[in-house]
Homo-oligomer: A and B are copies of this chain.
Amino acid sequence: MKKLINAVDDVVREQLEGMASAHSDLLKVHFDPNYVYRADAPVAGKVAIISGGGSGHEPMHGGFVGMGMLHAACPGEVFTSPTPDQMYEAAKAVDSGAGVLFIVKNYTGDVLNFETAAELAFADGIRVQNILIDDDVAVKDSLYTAGRRGVGTTVLVEKIVGAAAEAGYSLDACADLCRRVNQYGRSMGMALTSCTVPAAGKPTFELGDAEMEIGIGIHGEPGQKRMPMSTADEIAEMMALEILDDPAYSRTVREWDNDAGSWVDKFLVDEPFQAGDQVIAFVNSMGGTPVSELYAIYRKLAQVCADKGVTIVRNLIGPYITSLEMQGCSITLLKADAEILKLWDAPVNTPGLRWGI
């Protein structure tokens, strides 16, 4: 294992220290429990958006803390969900009284820890919403699995809902928007190489010199299927079609009811894409793939979308939700209506994403 790290046990803390020292104008880092939060938090009158998850996906989530995006991010150990005390303390630190929205990627660990945190925060008098992101079309059904994983759409959701909070949306409006944006987004990922969790010291899985792994998540877990290595065009087309041809997806999610003070089940159905849709296209590097190669993927993706009558109206290309140094990419398409586009275009100022300011 060759990495720019010191002792394995210090990796997350020292990276957070680096972030704190580099971006003191935008954010602060609280240690023990660990969370990254806006330098100007709590922001008066605004709903606080909090996300979090295992480390190793940088810039997500800590790099998205700042004006117009997240108010706080809770980083776990590498590829390990954070613990409820992190989210609970972060919520107390950034809640302005307008409530807190937790954006939670759908992994059992994340879900359970965020749920526990939501209960703790609510018990403390903070109004909470807990919305799951589950956009990975590599997971086909929700009946026999823990449901689709939260992947690329997370980045887009955090930007869009962050802008909504900045614009003064209420907690419930933020939650409704968050749920809707998640339902509009679908993603698919692939890996050319594995990656090495520092604490493990060796690659999570082995991949032959002429193989690739299709349908991976973001935790270095093996994916849906292993295939012989192929061209950028074939890879882009395969992933794009998995997304564009994905049928309706339904599942039951658990959300918090502030009035009842308890969890409620919601049955949700994501409609498939159709000709005429406008989308935000996001081509993401898994960390080790340089942006140049992403352009080859985007090139073909744009052609496939055009063939399907789907219009790309915005795009994001680069390493935004990564799996350490893994080589590979993911594609996310997000159906965008006028409200979503307006929020996408709104100013954002974070270490990882910045425009309009």
Contacts and interface: CB of A to CB of B under 8 A. Distances in A.
Contacts of A225: none
Interface in A254-279: none
Interface in A274-308: 287-299, 302
A6 interface: yes
Interface of A: 2-7, 11, 14-19, 21-22, 55-56, 58-59, 63, 192-193, 209-210, 212, 229, 231-233, 235, 287-299, 302, 315, 317, 319, 322, 324-325, 327, 329, 349, 351-352, 354-357
A199 B308 CA distance: 34
Contacts of A329: 4
B291 A192 contact: no
A233 B15 CA distance: 12
A317 B2 contact: no
A292 B317 CA distance: 18
A296 B296 CA distance: 31
Given A18-B296, A327-B325, A2 B232 contact: no
B302 A21 contact: yes
Contact of A290 (B232, B287, B354): B287
Nearest to A192: B2
Given A192-B2, A288-B327, A21 B235 contact: no
Given A291-B322, A354-B354, 11 more contacts: A2-B193, A2-B210, A11-B296, A14-B299, A18-B299, A18-B302, A19-B295, A22-B315, A59-B291, A63-B291, A354-B355
A352 B295 CA distance: 13
A356 B295 CA distance: 25
Given A59-B291, A291-B59, A319-B290, A327 B2 contact: yes
B4 A293 contact: yes
Given A15-B292, A290-B287, A298 B233 contact: no
Q: Which A-B residue pairs are the 5 nearest by beta carbons?
A: A18-B295, A18-B299, A4-B293, A58-B292, A287-B290
